[in-house]
Amino acid sequence: MSTKELLMGDRSDIPCLDEAAKPTQLSSHEYSANIHPEWSYGTAAHGGYLNTVIMKSVALHFHTTLKQFNQRDAISLHFEYLRPTSLGEVRVNIRELRASKAVSTVNFSLQQNGKERVVGYATYMNRKKARRNGPSVDTQYQLDPPIPPLDVDAIERQEDPNCVFATRPSLPGDPTKSLATIIFALPVKESRDPSYNESWKRLKDSGSRWTPENLGLIFDWQGIPLENYFPDSKETKWQILERQQDWNRNGPPEKPWGWKSPRWYPTLSMSVDIKHGLPAEGEVWLFTRAKIRGMQEGRFDLTVEIWDLHGNLVAVVQQLVGVMDMKNSLSAKMAVDAKKKLDEKIAGTSTIPGYITVLDLSTNTLHELNGTSKPIINPNEAYYFDGKVWIATYPASANETYNGGIISVDPRTLEVETVVNSYFGLPFNFPDDVFWTAKGNDRYLFFTDPFYGFIPYPNNFKTPQLPVGVWRWDPQENLLLPVISRNEIHPNGIRVSPDMKSLYVTDSTPTFLTQTPYSPPIGPAAENWLGPYIYKYDLDEGMFPVNRRVFGLVREGIADGIHVDDDGNVWTAESEGVVVRDPKGRVIGLFNAAYFQGEVAAASGIPIANFALAGDTLVIFGVSSLRTVKLGKAVVSADSVIVN
């Protein structure tokens, strides 16, 4: 098989853009579509893909509900990205703000699970009628430096002297597999000016074209010129060109390449001015140049010009983009709850030691935990007990050998020991949370084992060998047993009460699972068919959990991190913040997530990664910051039996 065939890959089971973004009209003002994984980043929909879904819905609206105005041409659009959109069904609701014979403007709202994800405006007109009635002036405007020439026949043969044929194969488990849907033509003589990235682009499917209705994809499909300014970047335009030339010579990588930058760039808003536009039949190739003017306070502007092969300026796009430096994010370093917060990390196919950062509350300083006796792989949750830190670790990817399980770390000697790593040779699924409890002189270790990694990335993780559930290890008898079955709960966090008589487990059935046929309109607290509850169990004389009952209901998202204070109050990290419930389940406090997350994370809808209780201090791990809150009293004492 030739290098080009390897790069193109088998696309027989991948829908083209027109199919993947096709809306269905539900009523005169409501439309539905399904977000497809091949056009997304992991489980999150790509912004340009959402633009296309919206533009196709708006175009259908003008073809049906507003057909009497005969306005088929978009001239202006504005998008505000309120929160991430995941795989599955979305609804687009449209209402008219102005409907007239000359120009009509509508307001659109893309929603999922009862929440608005993208909102904005679209203005349409009849361009043929406007050409007859309105003046036009050719200002002779051109890009400087000029657009690099493209030989469309030669580039397909990888023989264009001016441009390099660039694409990547669609590989299982690649969180950035949407990049495999586009073919790029990169200028061979890439400018040394770091302020802009440029390329010619076409859809990989040979029968697909850039049309007025799917133009939304290219609005948000640019290399990020900001990467050109960072010395640690592996995603500069010069490195991308060099890497692609190597792939063209020696074949593409066998494993997903992914996104190699420690930074993530969520688009916050976008305004589009359609200039020349496109013919109804579309164009095969379009050129884009994306230029940055500056970054300040974690955000930057990006101006994108789109041109066709005939020298026409098709559209000008102005974006406001956020910057999240995952390298400096405590949640990234600790890999705490990485399964939900950092899809790209989960989807990677290589096993890498995890990042664990130690916070010294006496000096408010951070340092990485280095020098352990062996690497700590894929750390998740941790618990301090009996002079050691006990860590739940999740398995390696499908082509690696690490099984995951529970390890211990002695913070004085940094000695790492494996506690449990299988059940009679069967590996665990995704050990998530861990704690110790005691009765008399006996000690018992409990941990949860869901299979979060396998569900969204079945090609990255080993096929589950064990049912999900809660496990208990009895070191006195050297006995490992499942104590809560998957028939009862899909567990996540787990903790014990101060008197060691009650067990709390959060039910976090993934929202992206296909559930039962139950599918009426639902609000945020009904997104999970089996949750989102916090359950309470009694611990019987043998320290087994019995008598399950509902302790709390989560209003938004799921209850992820969970801790219990010395008074028996239960603290949980939920989408709306850290929620505190008394021992009876009454909500007595909320630390609002929006306050702790910062501008970019709040706008992106990302929940708090995790939190901890330390004396009179609440430590909150936001995605891009670490904050402490001084409480009115110590809630966990230094000699607490349930050190969190």
Q: What is the CATH number of the domain that holds 121?
A: 2.40.160.210
Residues of the chain with pLDDT under 50: 1, 327-353, 510-522, 525-529, 602-603, 605
Inside any domain, residue 100: yes
Parent domain of 442? 366-559
N- to C-terminal Cα separation, the chain: 56
Inside any domain, residue 586: no
pLDDT at 513: 44
The C-alpha angle 81, 87, 93, rounded to 5 degrees, equals 50
CA distances in angstroms from 473 to 17, 377, 417, 504, 544, listed in the order given: 50, 21, 15, 17, 11
pLDDT at 341: 32
pLDDT at 601: 52
CA distances in angstroms from 550 to 109, 159, 313, 463, 543, listed in the order given: 35, 66, 60, 31, 20
- Cα–Cα distance measured from residue 642 to residue 636, given in angstroms and rounded to the nearest whole number: 8
| Type of residue numbered 270 | M
- Cα–Cα distance measured from residue 200 to residue 406, given in angstroms and rounded to the nearest whole number: 50
Q: Answer yes or no: do 414 and 289 share one domain.
A: no
Compute CA 504 distance to the chain's CA centroid, rounded to the nearest angstrom. 28
Rg (alpha carbons) of the chain, rounded to whole number? 27
Q: Answer yes or no: do 603 and 467 share one domain.
A: no
Q: Answer yes or no: do 436 and 538 share one domain.
A: yes
Q: Answer yes or no: do 316 and 406 share one domain.
A: no
Q: Answer yes or no: do 554 and 571 share one domain.
A: no
Inside any domain, residue 242: yes
| Type of residue numbered 290 | A
Q: Answer yes or no: do 422 and 297 share one domain.
A: no
Strand partners, 111: 91, 116
pLDDT at 328: 41
Instruction: Please indicate, yes or no, whether the overall pTM of this predicted structure exceeds 0.75.
Output: no
Q: Answer yes or no: do 8 and 69 share one domain.
A: yes
CA dihedral angle for residue 395, residue 398, residue 399, residue 400, rounded to 10 degrees: 10
- Cα–Cα distance measured from residue 574 to residue 559, given in angstroms and rounded to the nearest whole number: 5
Q: Answer yes or no: do 169 and 299 share one domain.
A: yes
CATH number of the domain where residue 446 is located: 2.120.10.30
Q: Answer yes or no: do 539 and 635 share one domain.
A: no
Q: Answer yes or no: do 397 and 508 share one domain.
A: yes
Q: Answer yes or no: do 55 and 17 share one domain.
A: yes
| Cβ-Cβ contacts under 8 Å for 107 (sequence gap 6 or more) | 94, 95, 96, 97, 119, 120, 121
The structural domain count of the chain equals 3
